Amino acid sequence: MQLFLLERRVSGTDAYRKLYAEFVQRWAAMLASAPEWPADAPTQDAAFAVHAMVYGLVSQALMTRAAPLDVTALRRLLRHAVHGYLSVVAPRAYRLYHFDA
């Protein structure tokens, strides 16, 4: 957690935006290559939203939750948030995939 806080203090806005955009592009590539991902689905917007959810939930958990962090509970929270969002954005692709509990 200390490294995360330090990084946020020393990195400039441009460096942060560039790194954030790289992560969003990785999410976009993963979503676009998923089986049955709809051609008309808003891939870039979905990638931005998914990354924002994951990044926000993880960073806030690291900064605000008591140590030791309950990783199992955080994974469940991430799964519910992302799956819920994707079930709305690309319902057919979502229904065809079998997720672990």
Residues 30-76: pLDDT tens digits? 999 988 888 888 999 999 999 999 999 998 998 888 888 899 999 99
User: Which one is predicted more confidently, 92 or 49?
Assistant: 49
Average pLDDT value for the chain:
85
Is the pLDDT at 29 greater than 60? The verdict is yes
User: Which string of DSSP letters, residue by residue, matches the chain?
Assistant: -HHHHHHHHHS-HHHHHHHHHHHHHHHHHHHHTSTT--TTS-HHHHHHHHHHHHHHHHHHHHHHSPSSP-HHHHHHHHHHHHHHHHHHHSHHHHHHS----
Percentage of the chain beyond pLDDT 90 is 46
Look at residue 1 in the predicted model and tell me its pLDDT. Answer: 57
